[in-house]
Structure 1
C-alpha cells in the first residue's frame, strides 16, 4: 500500500513538473521597469522573472505582445497564459471562460502624479487627468459623476507626464514605478509627486490561464521557493511595492530680514 502511495505522489509530481512550451500573451506597450514590449523590445522585471522560472522548471516561454484590448479576449486562442491580469478587472472577464490566477507577481502602485505645488490638491479642485489609452482608472471613473474633472486619453507615459510637467493637465494616473523610471531618464524625478488626497491603488499583477491550472500551481511554488531571488530581481529593477512616504512640499526660500 505504501509503495502505491509513493508511486502516486511521484507520478503526480512528474506530471506537474514535466517540461513544456507555452505562449504568454502580454501588453504590447512600454511599461518598464515591469516590462517593455513596444517597438520590438523584450525587457523588464517580468521577462527576467520568467527566465528564472524557465531555468527552475525546464519549461520554455514565448512572449506574444498584443494590443491591450485584444490580449484579454485571447484566453481560448493560441495564448496559454496572460500577463498582467487580475480578477478585479471585470471589463476583461470572458463569459463562459474560467480563469485560474497565480499568486502576486508584483504589487503595483496606481498613483496620480501632480506638480509639487499641487501635492495637496483635493478632488473638488482637480480638473484634468491624463490616462494611457487602453487603461481604465477604476477609482477615478467611479468618482467622476461626483466631481467636475475631465479624463484625457493619451498614447503613452511620456505624453501623460509631459502634459503635467508643462502644466497643461493637473495630473496623470500612472503606475508609480513606471513614472519614476521615466522621470529619472529625463532628470525630472523631483518635478512630480503623488497627489496625497487623490485616488491611489495598490494592486497585484497576476498571471492567468484558462488552460493550465497545474502550471499556475507550479509557478506559485516557484515564487515561494525562490523568494530571495525574486526579491533580488525587484531590487535590481528598483521596484517599490508600498506607497512612498509623502515628500514634504518644497516652499520657496525667503530672504532673511535685514
Structure 2
C-alpha cells in the first residue's frame, strides 16, 4: 500500500499543470447550476461530465473571456434555491417565466435567448393533426406542467401520467401506452433520430405548445450577463454552428400559431 501511494505521488509530481493555472495564474472561476437529467441535445452527463449544447456554448464564452466555469448538476428547483441564496453564480438553462412567484422577491438578471425551446404534445406520425378530442392519455416528466391542458384534465377528458425521466416518457410512447408525450420537440427528435426513426414521433404544432428561449441567469453578476449578451452577438456564427452540430430543428417558433383550449 505504501509503494502504491508513493507511486501515485511521483506521477502527480510530473503531471503538467492544467492550462488554466499556468505560471500560478488561476482565472476567475464561477459556479453554474445546470440540470442533472438526461436531456439531449441540450444536456446530458457523459462519463460523469456535464456535456451537450449548453456546455459547449458556455465553455466557448468562458474561453473568450478568460473565465473558468465549474458546473454543478442538480434539479432545476435546487438550482433556483441556490441561485437565490447566493450559493451558485449562474444558472443554465433558465427562463424568467419559470417559478415566477418563487423568484418574485429577488432581482435576477437574464441573458438574451440562447436557443429556442418548444414544449408540446409529441405524437406518432399517423396521429399528427388529429383533433384534440382524440388525445385521451398523455405522459410527461414529473415536475412538468402543461397549463394549456389542465382544463381538459379538470373536465375528465384527459389523463396525464407523470414519470421520472425522459427515457421513461419515450418508452411509454414506444409501447403505445399514451396518445402523446408532452416534452421538448428537439429532445424527442434527438431520441428518434438516434434510433434511425426520425419523424416517427414529432411535435404536433396544431395543438397548444409553449415556446421560449433558454437563457443564462445570475443574481450576483449582471456585468457578466451583459458580457455574455455581447458574446452572443459577436459569435453568432459560432453559436449557430453549435446548433447545427446538435441538429436543432425547433429553435424558431412556427409562423402558424396553434389554437387554444377553451
TM-score, normalising length from structure 2? 0.79
2:194 to 170, 181, 185: 185
User: Does structure 1 conserve the Cα–Cα contact (< 8 Å) formed by 2:86 and 2:219?
Assistant: no
Partner SS state of residue 31, structure 1: coil
Query: Aligned pair 1:81/2:86, yes or no?
Result: no
User: Does structure 1 conserve the Cα–Cα contact (< 8 Å) formed by 2:117 and 2:214?
Assistant: yes
Partner SS state of residue 154, structure 2: coil
Offset of 1:218 from its aligned partner? 0.6
Q: 1:173 to 1:46 in 2, by over 3 A?
A: same
Partner SS state of residue 103, structure 2: coil
> CA–CA distance in 2 between the matches of 1:20 and 1:32?
29
Offset of 1:147 from its aligned partner? 6.2
- Aligned pairs (5 A) from 1:2-151: 20-37=28-45, 40-75=48-83, 76-91=85-100, 93-141=102-150, 144-145=153-154, 148-151=157-160
2:248 to 200, 220, 239: 239
User: Does structure 2 conserve the Cα–Cα contact (< 8 Å) formed by 1:131 and 1:174?
Assistant: yes
Q: 1:38 to 1:199 in 2, by over 3 A?
A: farther
Gapped runs of 5+ residues in structure 1? 1-18, 247-258
Deviations 1:90-146 (A, max 9, x none): 356335221110000110121311112221222222111111122223333365435
CA RMSD between the two structures = 2.2
User: Does structure 2 conserve the Cα–Cα contact (< 8 Å) formed by 1:115 and 1:192?
Assistant: yes
Query: Aligned pair 1:169/2:170, yes or no?
Result: no
Offset of 1:37 from its aligned partner? 3.4
User: Does structure 2 conserve the Cα–Cα contact (< 8 Å) formed by 1:113 and 1:193?
Assistant: yes
Deviations 1:12-65 (A, max 9, x none): xxxxxxx62110001111111111137724211111111111111001111001
Deviations 1:197-234 (A, max 9, x none): 32222210111111111110010011011111111111
The equivalent residue for 2:210 is: 201
Offset of 1:163 from its aligned partner? 1.1
> CA–CA distance in 1 between the matches of 2:194 and 2:101?
32
Aligned positions, number: 228
After TM superposition, the structure 1 stretch with the greater mean CA deviation from structure 2, 55-64 or 85-94, is 85-94
Deviations 1:157-201 (A, max 9, x none): 221122122211010011111111111222232321322432222
Gapped runs of 5+ residues in structure 2? 1-26, 257-262
User: Does structure 2 conserve the Cα–Cα contact (< 8 Å) formed by 1:165 and 1:191?
Assistant: no
Partner SS state of residue 87, structure 2: coil
> CA–CA distance in 2 between the matches of 1:92 and 1:182?
33
> CA–CA distance in 1 between the matches of 2:213 and 2:132?
25
